[in-house]
Amino acid sequence: MNIFVSGSLAYDRIMDFPGNFSDHILPDKIHILNVCFTVNGMAEKFGGTAGNIAYSLKLLDEKPLILATIGKDHHNYSRWLKELGLPLDGIKVIESEFTAGAYITTDKADNQITGFNPGAMKHRSEHSFSTNAADSIAIMSPGNLDDMKIYAQEYKRLGIKCICDPGQSLTAWDSQSLTEWIKGSSILISNDYELELIMKMTGMKKNELLSMTGAIITTLGEKGSIVADASGETMIPAAKISKVVDPTGAGDAYRAGLIKGLAMGKSLVNAAKMAAVAAVYAVEQYGTQEHRYTFSEFAERHADNFGAL
């Protein structure tokens, strides 16, 4: 099965401040704030929604095509994707921009200050589809907004099953565009807060949204997820976890497990169970592309939680 993953590619540059931000910010001088925090060092991690989803799909023995843009500093990321065995054909290099980057500084109290540069993500990846649509699945994760809209139109025109995953992009949508984007999709996936925001923005209740898409999947963190379709709602428990290290990236890993299940021909409920197992691997490691496992190890863990695949 052809798998298309559109969204963002980004560098996460993570820094630790060995003190508390609050000790260096004077509330009565906030209007002239001018502070420099000297950090212990910086770790660069590969991230972005498309990169994270594609990474976990590769662990699950799939070879998705990433549809995204990357900047003139792409060489380390491109090398990483090549080492994973992922194709670069759908990635467009924007030589005038840097790759999207999040600069995250965390203090001793786990407070964070983040700067985000969208960089190359401001540009469309502009992939042209010439594949057989009968055997394809696509996910549109947060990235360039025009890509999200235009790829949706292409997928629906070609009959490609598509998953709408608006996530962090929601604040950039208007009501009409968001409604049109969801209409005719195979699945709408979001967390519970995002679903409330989608309903507010579209003016629709959940059952009304279900009339426009094949199913709605709502992730609930450690509480699991809910699969809703025309037959009703099914609660999917979270898979057992050995240790919570970093929940960042769990949602992207969940989506990879879901797509893998659908690619295997599993029912939506069983695919969501695979998604739950995929998510815990990300939670058990720091970073979004640091977890490792083989598909046989994944199958064993799935059997321990939900039964044999």
Spell out the domain ranges in the chain: 1-26+37-140
Q: How confident is the model at residue 131 (pLDDT cuts 50, 70, 90)?
A: low
Beta strands (DSSP E) in the chain are 2-6, 10-16, 42-47, 65-71, 91-94, 100-106, 112-117, 136-140, 161-164, 187-191, 216-219, 225-229, 232-236
CATH number belonging to the domain at 1-26+37-140, selected among 3.50.30.60, 3.40.50.2000, 2.30.38.10, 3.40.1190.20: 3.40.1190.20
Q: What is the mean pLDDT of residues 136-160?
A: 95
Asked if 290 and 309 touch (Cβ cutoff 8 Å), the reply is no
Q: What's the pTM?
A: 0.93
Q: How confident is the model at residue 286 (pLDDT cuts 50, 70, 90)?
A: confident
| Separation of first and last alpha carbons in the chain | 18
Q: How confident is the model at residue 111 (pLDDT cuts 50, 70, 90)?
A: confident
Rounded-to-integer distance, Cα 61 and Cα 305, Å: 21
φ, ψ dihedrals at 137, nearest 5°: -140, 145
Class of residue 57 by CB neighbours under 10 A (exposed 0-12, middle 13-18, buried 19+): buried
Q: How confident is the model at residue 132 (pLDDT cuts 50, 70, 90)?
A: low
How much is the mean pLDDT over the chain?
94
Looking at the predicted structure, is the pLDDT value of residue 253 above 90? yes
For residue 142, give the amino acid letter: P
Looking at the predicted structure, is the pLDDT value of residue 133 above 80? no
